[in-house]
Amino acid sequence: MRKILFFIGPIILLIIWWFLDVFEVIDRLYLPSLSEVSMSFMAIISSDGYLHIWATTYRAILGFVIAGVAAIPMGVLLGINKKIYQASEFIIDFFRSLPAPALFPLFLLFFGIGDNAKIAVVVFLAFWIILINTIYGVWNSSKLRQQVGLVFRASRFQIIKEIILPDALPQIFVGLRIALSLSLIMIVVTEMFIGTRIGLGQRIFDSYASYRIPELYSFILIVGLLGYIFNKVFIFFERRIIHWTEKY
């Protein structure tokens, strides 16, 4: 039954698209037919499309991983030590409030126009999301369980490892999941505006600039499918790591 329900959403979208095309509700200059987009999609996949998919995936995942490796330990430290958090609260709130696209010129100045600048933008965006969710996860850890651990003379390290981290993991994974989606969005934006030789964002912009509309829709479709795959793979690992929660 679940597999059948999965196809309902895509089928509805295709029916709406078909209806708009057949009855010419929207000019084909702005909304090409399904057949045109399908042929363009297959042409992209059978040519150099994989290079652009790989480039965008590599940049997004690398930036996301770097952010996670840096943010989670720092978030745990700030979460268990309120004084350190209070001392750095202004810095956290200031930088997490800055829109990452506004820092494009700064990242270009420091890292140039290569991959480093694009990855740095993703790291900046994802870092603060993961950091805040990690801090909140640590704060929401069961105080009663921590007290029980102290009664049984557990060390500080044991309390963090056996109580605080397991309690914080669901919230940490919420931050990771949000950060992963936004990492893909941000890397596509940086490819469009910072520029690159290969990448889905650049191809979207090139298709728009040259009015290759079926190709434009095809690359947008690829980005959407890539985001869907990211999300499903993440959920797969999340269910196995924090298997004690029932979210789905």
Reported as a single tens digit per residue, the pLDDT across 69-116 is 999 999 999 999 989 999 999 999 999 888 888 888 888 888 887 889
More confident residue, 167 or 26: 167
pLDDT number for residue 114:
80
Cα–Cα dist 85/89, whole Å: 6
Residues 6+ apart with CB under 8 A from 44: 215, 218, 219, 222
Cα–Cα dist 63/57, whole Å: 10
Q: Of 47, 25, 44, 58, give the one whose Cα is nearest residue 217.
A: 44
- How many Cα atoms are found within 13 Å in the side-chain-facing hemisphere of 81? 12
pLDDT number for residue 247:
53
User: Can you read off the two tokens belonging to residue 135?
Assistant: 């801090």
| pLDDT, mean of residues 236-243 | 85
pLDDT number for residue 239:
87
Cα–Cα dist 144/163, whole Å: 10
Query: How far, in Å, are 18, 110, 143, 155, 241 from residue 137 at the CA level?
Result: 46, 33, 12, 20, 16
Q: What is the DSSP letter of 243?
A: T
Cα–Cα dist 94/90, whole Å: 6
Confidence of residue 248 (pLDDT cuts 50, 70, 90): very low
User: Can you read off the two tokens belonging to residue 149?
Assistant: 């651990």
Write out pLDDT tens, residues 16-29: 888 887 777 777 77
pLDDT number for residue 148:
82
Query: How far, in Å, are 32, 60, 62, 165 from residue 122 at the CA level?
Result: 32, 7, 9, 25
DSSP 83-115: HHHHHHHHHHHHHHTS-GGGGHHHHHHHHTTSH
pLDDT number for residue 120:
93
Cα–Cα dist 58/75, whole Å: 25
Burial class (CB in 10 A: 0-12, 13-18, 19+), 5: exposed
